[in-house]
Amino acid sequence: MSIADNLRAQILTLVKEYHQSKFAPKSFDPDKDMVHYAGRVFDAEEIVNLVDAGLDFYLTANRYAERFEAEFADYLGLSNALLANSGSSANLVALTSLTSPKLKDRHLKPGDEVITTACGFPTTLNPIIQNQWIPVFVDVNLGDYTAIPERLTAAIGPKTKAVMMAHTMGVPFHLDAVMDLVKKDNLWLIEDNCDALGSKYTLSPSAPCSQPSALSEINRYLRTPLHLFFLPCPSHYHGRGRLCPDQ
């Protein structure tokens, strides 16, 4: 073992000891302790991996990023997963990939319409506007705040090219109805999956159902600040608003 390898091993051993001393499990008293809606959940292995990656001093993606992309894509049954700096950026990359000339007559161009919900996140809507497309807003169900399937059907027009929606607060939208719709009208479906890691639809993870999909693991959603852009079909991917009125 080289001197550097020996020092690394010593450092990582000390990191484990530090975790035990600093973050040792504490008892929880339901009568006195506050229940946090979100926060950091980690163990010694995660801190060790963080320090181990830091010792390589890669300031961009490194071996851990490549391993995570590969293993996470396998977990969700996808062909590729690419790390981005944020879920918002993942949404932008996912949607902007549809401008690629490699998509031929299916690529999106300025003036095309993209259906989304009237009640949602700014970073689901913003990529539509940034690409000079026209967002077409549809209403949502009260309670779970996912799109009303019938309103989606009514919103489709001659310029409609895609549907971009989030699984709001981890609640999957009606994927069966949406998938039937996009297949029937030859539309792209882009999932903002940033809230929904772990959510299931008919006992399957929610991410693999669309074409591009964006996912986030930021603390307020889940556990750690990781953000992904999924590419199920890699060979396909190397303004103003119009409100859909009530019917």
The CA-based angle 241-245-246, given to 5 degrees, is: 150
37 and 67 in a single domain? The answer is: no
102 and 160 in a single domain? The answer is: yes
pLDDT for 72 equals 84
CB atoms within 10 A of CB 34: 6
Contacts of residue 129, Cβ cutoff 8 Å, sequence gap at least 6: 135, 239
pLDDT for 213 equals 64
9 and 117 in a single domain? The answer is: no
CATH number at residue 105: 3.40.640.10
The amino acid at residue 30 is: P
Final residue belonging to a domain, choices 56, 74, 92: 56
Q: Which of 67-76, 94-103, 208-217 has the lowest mean pLDDT?
A: 208-217
- As a three-state string, the secondary structure of 186-229 is CCEEEEECCCCCCCEECCEECHHHCCCEEEECCCCCCCCCCEEE
Strand, coil or helix: 93: helix
209 and 164 in a single domain? The answer is: yes
25 vs 72: CA distance, rounded Å: 28
Domain that holds residue 204: 63-243
Q: Two tokens at 135?
A: 């967002």
Burial pattern 130-168, b for ≥16 Cβ within 10 A else e, equals: ebebbbbbbbbbeeeebbbbebbbebbeeebbbbbbbbb
67 and 52 in a single domain? The answer is: no
- pLDDT at residue 57 greater than cutoff 90: yes
50 and 86 in a single domain? The answer is: no
Looking at the chain, the whole-number percentage of residues with pLDDT higher than 70 is 81
188 and 81 in a single domain? The answer is: yes
Average pLDDT for 30-35: 89
83 and 49 in a single domain? The answer is: no
Average pLDDT for 177-198: 88
15 and 85 in a single domain? The answer is: no
Average pLDDT for 135-155: 92
Average pLDDT for 19-26: 88
- pLDDT at residue 209 greater than cutoff 60: no
In the chain, how many domains are there? 2
- 214: pLDDT confidence band, cut at 50, 70 and 90? low
Q: Two tokens at 142?
A: 């009260």
83 and 32 in a single domain? The answer is: no
102 and 143 in a single domain? The answer is: yes
Average pLDDT for 216-244: 41
- pLDDT at residue 76 greater than cutoff 70: yes
136 and 31 in a single domain? The answer is: no
